[in-house]
Amino acid sequence: MNFRKRTGEELAIDLTSLIDVVFILLLFFMVSTTFERPASMKITLPEASAEAELADPTKRLELVIDKEGKMYLNDQELVDDRVETLIAAFTQEVGDNRKVPLVLRADRETPHHFVVTAMDVAAQLGFTDLSIATDRPSGKGE
């Protein structure tokens, strides 16, 4: 029997393609990652409690929106629901003081876009203390 050593090239694995694929995946994940944006406005969510309302009601704004979209700022009806009207009403009530707490109270049948518009205006003007007021249901069926 003839057992000769084979003289051939040694097998080598080319890692260039693998490295290219890994870099492309790395770039894909870096580009497609979403970054968390911090909230620019603090929203106090409603809680069911028996606590009294704010101690000094004269130093706050209360915006009430009914089911037809009519807006009332501190019990004064606004002319319409336009953004410019809201900005003018907020500015007339508090001037440049944006530390005043803003309470947003909406009817349960109020269209959602009226509430979102009011929140957008408050954020544009720089209000940082926004509370959403709710009423307790009167019965179990509600």
CATH number for the domain including 128? 3.30.420.270
- What total number of domains does the chain contain? 1
Does any domain span residue 9? Answer: no
Does any domain span residue 3? Answer: no
Exposure string of 112-135, with b = 16+ CB inside 10 Å and e = fewer, is eebbebbbebbeeeebebbbeeee
Does any domain span residue 2? Answer: no
Does any domain span residue 93? Answer: yes
pLDDT tens for 22-73 read 999 999 988 888 777 766 777 777 666 555 454 455 577 899 998 888 899 9
pLDDT at position 104 over 80:
yes
Q: What is the pTM of this model?
A: 0.56
- The identity of residue 1, as a single letter, is M
pLDDT tens for 9-26 read 777 788 889 999 999 999
pLDDT in the model for residue 55:
47
**Residue 6: band (very low, low, confident or very high) from pLDDT cuts 50, 70, 90:** low
Q: Is 87 strand, coil or helix? A: helix
pLDDT at position 126 over 70:
yes
DSSP state string for 103-134: EEEE-TTS-HHHHHHHHHHHHHHT--EEEEE-
Domain range for 108: 42-133
User: Which pair of structure tokens corresponds to residue 97?
Assistant: 């003081």
Does any domain span residue 24? Answer: no
